[in-house]
Amino acid sequence: MIAPEGYLCWSDILECVDIWAEEVERCQRVRIAEKKANDSLARMVLKTWLLANFMYEFEPILCGKDGSLLRVPRWMWFHADRLDACSIASPVDKRGEYNLYFTQHSKGLFSEKDVGNRFCALDPRTGLIRLRNNTRSLFIYAWMDEEDAEAATQLVNKMIGMSVCWNPKDLPSTDQDILRAIWGDSPFETGSPSVEHTEVRMRKVGRPALTPIILSAYDDLYPCGHHITGHSWEIVARRLSDKAGRSLKPDTIARTVNRRSPLDTEQSEQ
């Protein structure tokens, strides 16, 4: 994930999305999903919705491997299901916009990772521009006509490997202001009226980033990894939450541990 010094990269925003999703879920009076079996998928839909709408309101900048910066049309960040044009509320599995997700999920034909994989030109794990076999079809599904979709696909092909980033100066200074920009007041009217003010640049200053907290606690509890203990991510989450003194979600921990670089692992072993 490439970004100029002082810019926010994809992993920074994914950490923010985790925090925003927890805050939104906390402020709702009802469960995230009506059926418990749908909880994980519902949370992923919420996070992807937040990410898609964040990118719609605060457009990323592309960064090349040489550090060059480029602004491109908004459709580069489109999700095939145009989540930026959808509404969302709990329980998510009762929303008509996402009915097909949960219907296919119940048949074992759709998983949490498939939600992010429907970004037309973005790799949801790395934030890199990618060209998939169905990129053109995804653009068409996202309301483009065939000619525009073909032109968009050709442009994507020229930008493969470029990374999205944000200049913090282009963003509101608090998480609350960002959430209000992409959602309005609804998350705060239905639950707790207070949402902690934290700097969106908390990866640099202010509220501690989740990554070092998670990795430090994980390495202390599982120096050889948790798989040899037979512990599930849910058990890992409970143990790390107790050690860190804050609530940590299993999917947040799993993504943080799985995406750590070899350098992180080497440093933790020294």
Query: Is 122 inside any structural domain?
Result: yes
- Residues 97, 226: one domain? no
State how many domains the chain has: 2
The pLDDT tens digits for 92-102 are 999 999 999 99
pLDDT at 262 > cutoff 60: no
Per the confidence metrics, is the pTM higher than 0.75? Answer: no
DSSP assignment of 240-258: HHHHHTS---HHHHHHHHH
DSSP code for 202: G
Q: Which domain holds residue 30?
A: 8-170
How far, in Å, CA of 69 to CA of 27, rounded? 37
User: Do residues 95 and 161 share a domain?
Assistant: yes
**One domain, residues 127 and 226:** no
Same domain, 134 and 36: yes
Nearest alpha carbon to residue 206 among 3, 1, 12: 12
Kindly state whether residue 31 falls inside one of the protein's structural domains: yes
Are residues 219 and 93 part of one domain?
no
Segment among 50-64, 157-171, 251-265 with least mean pLDDT? 251-265
48 and 129 co-located in one domain: yes
For residues 65 and 85, give the distance between their C-alpha atoms in angstroms, rounded to a whole number. 32
Residue 154: the pLDDT is: 95
d(CA 182, CA 56): 8
**Is 199 part of any domain?**
no
Query: Is the pLDDT confidence value at 12 over 80?
Result: yes
More confident residue, 244 or 37: 37
Residue 268 lies in a domain: no
Asked, for residue 195, whether it belongs to a domain, the answer is no
| DSSP letter, residue 193 | S
Average pLDDT score, the chain = 83
223 lies in some domain = yes
- In a domain? residue 62: yes
Q: Is the pLDDT of residue 62 over 90?
A: yes
Could you tell me if residue 232 is inside a domain?
yes
pLDDT at 209: 56
What would the pLDDT profile of 176-225 be if each residue is shown by its tens digit? 788 888 876 545 444 333 333 333 333 332 234 567 788 888 999 998 88
